[in-house]
A and B are shown apart, each in its own frame.
Chain A
Amino acid sequence: DVKVTQSSRYLVKRTGEKVFLECVQDMDHENMFWYRQDPGLGLRLIYFSYDVKMKEKGDIPEGYSVSREKKERFSLILESASTNQTSMYLCASSLWVGGNEQFFGPGTRLTVL
């Protein structure tokens, strides 16, 4: 069974703080993704990575950065958290970018006060 784990289920941070969201997958997948999910807006792609140290911007990369130093780990960084980044953050992985199945983690509910 593929497992994608995220470091926290719930996180509360203050405006201006630097926030790290960690994601780990255990199936040697090449590709990893970060999404945010908001009511009425659905899933929006923030960044994805198709290889170690490689990253590509998604639809809404502003205010975020990512790091992939190891194949199994993909981190999302909010350099200076703002209230409009309060959201559910979902990490996913897939065997290849064009694969039809993405395996999602349970999500991190981030609240920025």
Chain B
Amino acid sequence: AAGVIQSPRHLIKEKRETATLKCYPIPRHDTVYWYQQGPGQDPQFLISFYEKMQSDKGSIPDRFSAQQFSDYHSELNMSSLELGDSALYFCASSSLTSGGPRRDTQYFGPGTRLTVL
């Protein structure tokens, strides 16, 4: 079965640079979620999109922005990178339209490991 695809899988950037992470949800999934997992920590919710509109916002820094496109893929843009941004960034997708919020199950991608030097 098709899974969530994330690219790139690994990314190395310098401080103050920008980075763009991409997420391709499972086909027919309409909702995308972004999570950040620091070393040895649990995933922290950043932001989510349902039908190309932002549906929820968590602890996402102002330096970060994201959007969901017409083909439902999503991009997380990160500017003025800091050392503390080094983490594993997970994207998850679900189908709120078919399952409804009461039965939403998120399926996670392999993550993008961002290292800021």
Partners in one complex: no
Give residues in B with beta carbon < 8 Å to A.
none
